[in-house]
Amino acid sequence: MRIPLNKKSREPLYRQIHQFLRDEIRCKALPADFRLPSSRTLSAGLGVSRITVMNAYAELESEGLVHIQPGSGTYVAPPAAYHSLPAEDGLDVHDWPIWQQELLSRTWLPARREMERLLASTVHPDPISFAGDLVAENLFPADEFRKTINAVLRRDGQQAFGYGNRAGFAPLRETIAHILAGQGIPTSPDHVLITSGSQQALSLVAQVLVQAGGSVLVESPTYIGAIDLFRSLNVRLMGVPVDEEGMRIEAVEEALKRNKPRLIYTIPAFHNPTGVCMAADRRRRLINLASRYNVPILEDDCFGDLRYDGRALPALKALDPNGCVIYVNTFSKMLMPGLRVGYLVASGPLYDRLLSCKYTCDLATSNLIQRALEAYISVGRYQAHLRRACGAYRKRRDAMVAALDAHMPEGVRWRVPKGGLCLWLRLPDGVSAIDLLPEASEEGVVYAPGSFYFPAERPESFMRLNFAPHTPERTEEGIRRLARALERYLSRRKAEEEPQRLHMGVTV
Ligand code: PMP
C-alpha cells in the first residue's frame, strides 16, 4: 500500500497515515471488510516504526472506521458502523427496512456535512459564526428585485412560467456574453449555458468529462463543495499546493507527468478558502501546460467581481487561444444565492454534451428568475448593487484584519485577501483548529476548520473566517472571543506539557 508521507511535515506521521486511510475508507477506495496490511508490513513498506502504524490504526478504530480482530487483522468497517444516524423516532439503524440499511452501505459522508456536524454542537446563546462562505443577507436588494419581478410579469405574462429555452433565457445569455466581453472574454451567447448555481455547472462538467476512477487535479486546499462533488463521482483528487501566488505550477507539471488527470479545477481569483489570486505568469503557464498535456481547465470565477484592492487580472478564459478553458461563474456571491443562477461558457462538442446533461439533470433553470435577473442587470441595477456590496465587504474585511491585529496572540498568521468573502488564518505551530473548536464554541464563536478543504493530507492548523456577513462591531466581538479561546487553549496546553517535561527531566 502506497501512502504519501511527508517526513519533513510538522504533522505527526501516524496522523498522516490515519488521515490518508480515513479518506480512502470514506470515499470507498478501501471497501468494507478490506483487510489492511499488518502493522509490521505497512511499517516496513513506509519506513516508519510499527508503533506509528499501530497508533494510526487505533485512531481509525476509535472513529469506528476499522475493527481490529486480534490474531486476524484490521478490517475496514461497514459504513453503517461509522455513519451514526440521528435518532429518529427512537429508531435504531437495524429498525429501518433492509433497503434503507442497504443505502447506508452505499452512501458516504460529504466533508461539508461532516463539518456541519462538528459545528452543530455549540450551545452559546448568541454564537457568532465565521464558518460559512456567505454574503450579507441585509444587503440583498429584495425590494428592487420584487419590483423587477412584477415588471417582468406585466411584460411577459404567462410566457415567464413556461420551461423556456433549456440553454437559458436568450436575452440573459446575451447580457452575460456582453459582460464577459467587457472583461476580455469574447464569447457568443450560444456558448453560454445557464445553470442552477455554479455548483450545477461544476457538476455538469465533472459528469461529462470525468469517469469514475479517473482523476482531477485540484488546488490543495480547495472548495469543499468541489471535493464532495468529485468524491461523489468516485473521482480521485490530485492536490497541488497553493502559495501566495496561487497554484504551484511546477507541481502541476510534475503531477501531469506522473498521472494524466481528466480535468484541472482551479479558482484563480480570490481562491476559496485561501483568498489568494493566481499570478499573471502562472495563469499563462497553466494554460500552456493544459494545452501541452491536452487536459481541459475548469475555471471557477465565483468571486472574481468581489475585488476590494488592486487591479483585476485577466481570467484564464481570456488568455485561452485554444479553447481549453471551461469558464464557470454565478450570481450567488455578486447578487443573491437564492436565485440559483449560475452559468458556464464552453464551446465545441462539449457544449452540446453539457446541454444534454443539464436537460437530464433538471430540464431547465427557473425561467421567471432568469427573466427577472436579465431585466435587473439591463437597467444597471446589478452594477450598482455590486459597487455597494464591494464597498461594504471591504469595510468588513478591514474590520476583521484590525480585530485580528488587535487581539490575536503571537504566532497566529493570516493573509489579507484582496477580495472574496473569507480570510485564511494559520494558528501557532502545533495548534489544531479542530482541537480548538470546543473552546471557541464555548466562548460563542465558530469558524471553518481548514482541514476539511484539503483533498488528501489534512493539516489542522488552518481556519477560514467568513467576514462578509458580519458588521464590523460583530466581527470585532467574534475575533475577541476567538482570541480568548486561543489564549485559554494555549495556557491549558502549556500547563499540561509542564509536568511531562519535568517528568522527562527536561529543565525549562
Ligand atoms: N464555487 C465556489 C468556489 C464556491 O465557494 C461556491 C459556493 N460557496 C460555489 C462554487 C457554488 O455556488 P453557487 O452554486 O451558489 O453558485
- DSSP state string for 81-143: HHSPPPPBTTB-GGGS-HHHHHHHHH----HHHHHHHHHTT---SS-EEE-S----GGG--HH
411 Cα–ligand 1 center, Å: 31
> In angstroms, rounded to a whole number, what is the distance separating the alpha carbons of residues 200 and 366?
13
Determine the pLDDT at residue 83: 52
DSSP, residue by residue, 128-164: EEE-S----GGG--HHHHHHHHHHHHHHHGGGGGS--
Q: Is the CB of 57 under 6 A from ligand 1?
A: no
- Backbone φ/ψ region at 33: left (φ over 0), alpha (ψ -120 to 50), beta: left
pLDDT digits (tens, 9 = 90+) for 445-491: 999 999 999 998 788 999 999 999 999 999 999 999 999 999 999 99
- Do 216 and 295 touch, CB atoms closer than 8 A? no
- Sign of the alpha-carbon torsion through 133, 236, 200, 281: positive
* Mean pLDDT score across all residues of the chain: 91
> In angstroms, rounded to a whole number, what is the distance separating the alpha carbons of residues 368 and 81?
45
Q: Is the CB of 274 under 6 A from ligand 1?
A: no
196 Cα–ligand 1 center, Å: 11
Q: Is the CB of 302 under 6 A from ligand 1?
A: yes
> In angstroms, rounded to a whole number, what is the distance separating the alpha carbons of residues 399 and 378?
33
Residue 255: Cβ-neighbour burial (10 angstroms; 0-12, 13-18, 19+) = buried
pLDDT digits (tens, 9 = 90+) for 389-409: 999 999 999 999 999 999 999
The average pLDDT across 62-90 equals 69
* Nearest atom, ligand 1, residue 267 CA: 3
Determine the pLDDT at residue 500: 63
105 Cα–ligand 1 center, Å: 29
52 Cα–ligand 1 center, Å: 38
Mutate to test the pocket of ligand 1, among 200, 202, 223, 452 (most ligand atoms within 8 A of CB): 223
Pairing of strands 128-130, 445-449: parallel
481 Cα–ligand 1 center, Å: 28
Q: Is the CB of 223 under 6 A from ligand 1?
A: yes
- What confidence category does residue 156 fall into, taking pLDDT thresholds of 50, 70 and 90? very high
Q: Is the CB of 164 under 6 A from ligand 1?
A: no
- Do 328 and 202 touch, CB atoms closer than 8 A? yes
Determine the pLDDT at residue 87: 47
303 Cα–ligand 1 center, Å: 9
- Do 423 and 109 touch, CB atoms closer than 8 A? no
Q: Residue 185 is placed in which grid cell? A: 472574454
Q: Is the CB of 132 under 6 A from ligand 1?
A: no
